[in-house]
Amino acid sequence: MQAVVFDMDGLMIDTEPIYQFSLQKAAKELGYEFEQSFFFSIIGQPNDACRKIIAGHFGPDFPLDTFWKRWQQIWKEHAESTGISIKPGLTELLAFLNEHRIPKAVATSSDGEQAAFSLKASGLGRQFSHIVTGDQIPNGKPAPDIYLEAARRLGVDPEKCVALEDSETGILSATSAGMTAIMVPDLKQPSDEVRAVASHVLDSLYEAKELIQSQLV
């Protein structure tokens, strides 16, 4: 193991509940119900894919552009008023990687502007020199593109990278890229299929730190 690649939402920062609240509130204002089960189906997907899935789910009469602007407005207002907290164990894991000079990168389905806002609001903006976002690669998760690009920027073979993910699409993306994929589920537990391809499924980033540390000994 020579490098670690982090997903962002739901893995490092506790934003998935904010996304769920914002999407559901925006839909309700327009007279639609955004079920939790449907929200789970778009976790980890890039924005373009989410738009297509949402449009297909609600049908041709759904005001997608109005909805899209509104949920982003709600999300930003909520994040600015409450802040974005980081996940337990992240501080310790990042400190360990920095201490041992292990290169690290972010691979997030969020677009560049959204990722920059989230990382800054959570105090993580200066932690990463390499940030690959969903709008920078041809194919989003679960395709391997974003993790292959992260490895390229790090200058490390994908097979020598550990990927940390909370979503099923992220795990499939990382494993397709040839990385060792460790899952720390957030709102949704993995299916049997995803659990089978993940290297490990852990309860927290504390456990991830212990596992990575054990591989260095």
DSSP per-residue letters across 44-98: T--HHHHHHHHHHHH-TTS-HHHHHHHHHHHHHHHHHHH--PBPTTHHHHHHHHH
CA–chain centroid gap for 45, Å, is 9
Nearest-CA neighbor of 109 among 24, 8, 15? 8
Query: Among 7, 9, 145, 166, which one carries the catalytic annotation?
Result: 7
Cα of first residue to Cα of last residue in the chain, in angstroms, is: 11
For residue 145, indicate whether it is catalytic: no
Spell out a b/e string for 57-69, using b for 16 or more CB atoms within 10 Å of the CB, else e: ebeeebeeeebbe
Collapsing DSSP to helix, strand or coil, 99 comes out as helix
Distance of alpha carbon 200 from alpha carbon 142, whole angstroms:
18
| Torsions phi, psi for 162 (to 5 deg) | -100, 130
Residues involved in catalysis: 7
